[in-house]
Structure 1
Amino acid sequence: MGAERMHPPRYWRMRAEEFRTKADNCEYRETRDVLRKVAQNYDELARRAARICTVESLDELRGEPANSKPV
């Protein structure tokens, strides 16, 4: 199970924004760059989580269990 399944997309977006804010307030360039990279990683987790939610919603509309996998 990937980390993106642990929380909804909104959670990961909020974390990304939190790290962007920390980066904006950081005095040191190298640290700022690392914090921005962390924010980008959280943005990617949010995108993945959104895709998972979309697929699970489509599965439910089709009447398939959310965790079923085609054989």
Structure 2
Amino acid sequence: MSEQKSTVSKEELKGVQVLGVLNFEARQIGKNFSEFLLLGVQYPKADSGEATPIVPLAETKIGGKLF
């Protein structure tokens, strides 16, 4: 699995609900370890793999199931 890039900074994501998958085996990404996979979609015509995170349209239950 390749690492994708987001054009959204950590600061812009603070306080924003995002969709992701928890409880993965720890994976090293750079100097950090993560057990969370942030879900996103690739920008149209972006050959580089740049993506934007998937966010819900309404406030959702934190830790709720993704269907």
Q: Shorter chain as normaliser: what TM range?
A: under 0.3
TM-score of the superposed pair, with normalisation by structure 1: 0.22
Which of the pair is proportionally richer in strand?
Answer: 2
Larger radius of gyration: 1
